[in-house]
Amino acid sequence: MGIFTRVRDIISSNINAMLDKAEDPEKLVKMMIREMEDTLIEIKANCASGMATKKKIKREIETVLDLAKNWDAKAQLAINKGREDLAREALVEKRRHVERAEALEEELEQAKSLVTQ
């Protein structure tokens, strides 16, 4: 929870500095509470967005892998029909989808790390 710790430290230091300079500490404390609430809302929104991104990427990975399986089946069918040219093209498409899935896996890992911060 690195982001929460950093936010807490920043807010804590700002509160102490402002209280030292404050003419009306009560107003200042209320202002800081509002600021902390706004920060919390922003953090929650970012977290929700990150989780939605993770789900979207997972669905896209599933779709791309299904397409790769379909192209593999088409390659097998082409081989059975004696059409090596079509089988090669199908395998090229399968490879393209597998590579896309691998790239999406990397994106998913990045999204996971952002959410856990």
pTM, entire model: 0.64
pLDDT digits (tens, 9 = 90+) for 82-110: 999 999 999 999 999 999 999 999 999 98
Instruction: Quickly tell me which residue has 């790390």 as its tokens.
Output: 113
Tokens for 5, please give them: 């710790």
Q: Point out the least confidently predicted range of 10-24, 62-76, 86-100.
A: 10-24
**CA–CA separation, 70 vs 17, rounded Å?**
63
Say whether pLDDT at 16 is over 90.
no
Given a contact cutoff of 8 angstroms between Cβ atoms, the answer to whether 99 and 90 are in contact is no
Distance CA 59, CA 68 (A): 14
Residue 113 phi, psi dihedral angles, 5° rounding: -65, -35
